[in-house]
Every structure is written in structure tokens, then in C-alpha cells.
Homo-oligomer: A and B are copies of this chain.
Amino acid sequence: MGIIVQKFGGTSVGNVERIRNTVNRIIEEKEKGHDVVVVVSAMGKTTDQLVGLANELSAYPAKREMDMLLSTGEQVTISLVAMALIARGYDAVSYTGWQAGIITEPVHGNARITEIRTEKIKSRLAAGQIVIVAGFQGITPAGEIATLGRGGSDTTAVALAAALHADRCLIYTDVTGVFTSDPRYIPNARKLKAVSYDEMLELASLGAGVLHARAVEFAKNAAVPLIVCSSLEREEGTLIEEEVSVEKNLIVRGVAFEDGITRVTIFGLENGFRNLPDIFTTLAEHHIDVDIIIQNQTADHKTYLSFSIKDKDLKETADLLEAGKEALSIDHFETETGLAKVSIIGSGMVSNPGVAAKMFQVLADHGIAIKMISTSEIKVSTVVDAKEMVRAARCLHEAFELDAVEQNI
């Protein structure tokens, strides 16, 4: 039997009762004969409470000190899980990020893992111990505690699975797997048996929320099979791997959507985009996330540029554009809020050219106006009125037969 990595999120270790449940899940895998490495997040609302304390003392808490503060959350969980396992008669040992040899770049708040020194974990596994590792954290070459940013515990788990050549990495969460769409809005949404890394990447970056995109990227590069499953319910989860052997005849595998989108349109870029890089560099420097970008020319050969941002970034974006009007050679700009993005995802699309057309037709048939379009090899995103978001997602889910019974090949 090989090594497996199990990752439990904040909900799965949110209180003593849930920790006991998590411990049962760990023991099950150990009893199957695996070498088990466990990655855990901070308990439930711990991180929010710590952030609250910090904000009371500082409007802009120093990032190094925030990492020092937040990394305690996972350290509490690893020790509790380890002592609970020991109390059940299993040999277990907990490691913080720095003890586990998780080396990051010298950045605070959003560091990337650069290396994992696995000797310590391997020697403990060889001695028959269950190793519990704190997610979300590592150590810089200078010995500073660094955190990995949103979804960091997923990344820790996948990176460990890759470094240890684990057979698979199990991600336990509060849903039972990856769905064709959000079941809260699309009653017919169905759990997928399997998706490819690329599909999961699109689903993750389109707000599916189950797994962080960076973790999926890591898993893809290292070819670590991921399984997303529930920590509470005993259902089979969703397998994420390179070659999806089931559901091959499904061209579209999921419908994702999110609201809170604003469209910004800039007019009068006469000089043919010479200032285009400047605009996006300025926005990036202010950490404004630009999603869809569209450029075109009007009949009188004037260039216009549209891009989508989050509603929350609207004020700052408008201020920046206003301030840079002259430098950026902008004539004027318009904004439209209250929009939503609805996307279809599926790696089968690349060889099925009619998919995008079908999507537009379906939306047109339902009288839903498309405001922006963006395509990639495995997804098509449309921006529509936020009021139409759920209706758009539902009719696409139905039109692409995502609620059909799964067909194994």
C-alpha cells in the first residue's frame, strides 16, 4: 500500500465532535494499510476571529505579523487531531509548516511553495506514525512564517501528495463532490464522477468554490489524482485526474455562474491600443482583478475597449481611469453594474465547434441578452444581467443535458 494524503477543511474540524468524526476518517484509511498524511485547516471561524482582533489593533496589520497570527489556527488543529488519534491508540505526530519542511518564497500573505523537504515526514511514516501537517503555512528561506493565501490548505495537501508521490489526495469538504452546477440554485444539478484537471481549473476559477485553482494547478503539474468528497456523508466523491474515463460523451460538464460583475467600457483609444498595457498595468498594481477583456473598432475606426471587474473594485477603477485620462489618452468611459457571468465548461468542447453557438441560441431563445462573451478551449463565458443569472444557468443546464443520468463507458 502506498501513501495517501487526506485534507480536512475548517468545517470538518470546526468543533470537538467534528474533530472526532475526522479522526474516524483518518483511522479508516490507516486501517486499510495506507501510510497516512493528514493536512488540516484552522477550526471553523478561528481565522475570522484572529483577523478581527488584528483589525482592532491596526487598520492595515503588517503582513508578516498577520502570517505569525493566522498560522496559529492550523497549529491548534494539528495538535488536537494528533492527541485525539493518540487517545484512540494510534501513533500520531503533528507538524507545523516549518517542521514539515514546507519552504515558500519570501512573501507574506500569499506565498507560493517552492520546495518540500520530506525527510522528516518520510521517517515518521516509516515508523508507522500518522503525520498531521498544518495547512496554509510554510517557512521562507530566512526562517519567517509565511501563509499561502486563500485555499492554502488545499495547496499544502496537493503539494505534499506530489512531493511524497502519494497514490492520491483526498479533499474532504462540506459538499459531496463537484457538481454540474450549484445545487442551491439548480435543483437538477448532479454530482460528477470525474472531471479533468483543466475542467476543474475552470470550475474553480469560475467560483465553484470546492477547490482552490492553485491547488488544482499543482495537482495537474504533478499528476496527483484528487478526490473531492464529503467529510460527513458516506458518498463517493468526484475524481479529478488527467484522463477522464467516464462521462466521455458529455461535451459540457458544468455550468458555473457568479454575480457582482461590472463592465467598464473605454472610448477614444485613437492610437490603436498603444496605451492598453498601461491601463492594465495600472489596474494590476492596485490589485484590481480584470476578468473578460474585449476590444473592437466602431464604424468610424475608433477603438473601444470593454472589460469586466468585480463590483467592489468599481470605485477604485473609476478613480484610476479618471486620474489617468490624459496619460492614458482616454476620451471617456462608461460603467454598467448589476451584471453576472454565466459559463459552460467541458474539455469536449475543443472538438465540438457548435457548442458556443448552441449556448448563444439557448440564451436567445429564452430572451436573455448577452453583454460580453469570452471563450477558451474548454469554456465559454457570457456576461448577462444579474437578474437573469439563475434562469440562464438553469436553461443551459437543461439544454446541455447535465441533469441526465450518468453514462459510464
**Chain A residues in the interface with B (C-beta under 8 A):** 16, 19-20, 50, 53-54, 56-62, 64-66, 68-69, 71-72, 75-76, 78-80, 82-84, 86-87, 93-94, 96, 98-99, 143, 145
Asked if A53 and B69 sit within 8 Å, CB to CB, the answer is no
B residues near A58, Cβ cutoff 8 Å = 83-84, 86-87
Centre residue among A72, A93, A98 by max chain B CB count within 10 A: A72
Asked if B16 and A56 sit within 8 Å, CB to CB, the answer is yes
Contacts A65-B80, A68-B82, A69-B76 aside, 5 further interface pairs with beta carbons under 8 A come to A16-B53, A19-B57, A61-B83, A61-B86, A68-B78
Complex alpha-carbon distance, A50 and B16, angstroms:
12
Known: A68-B78, A68-B79, A69-B80. A57 touches B87 (CB 8 A): yes
Complex alpha-carbon distance, A56 and B20, angstroms:
10
B residues near A16, Cβ cutoff 8 Å = 53, 56-57
Asked if A62 and B50 sit within 8 Å, CB to CB, the answer is no
Interface of A is mostly: helix
Q: How far is the CB of A120 from chain B (nearest CB, A)?
A: 8
Asked if B86 and A76 sit within 8 Å, CB to CB, the answer is no
Complex alpha-carbon distance, A362 and B143, angstroms:
61
Complex alpha-carbon distance, A82 and B76, angstroms:
21
Known: A16-B56, A57-B87. A62 touches B80 (CB 8 A): no
Centre residue among A57, A66, A76, A145 by max chain B CB count within 10 A: A57
Asked if A54 and B83 sit within 8 Å, CB to CB, the answer is yes
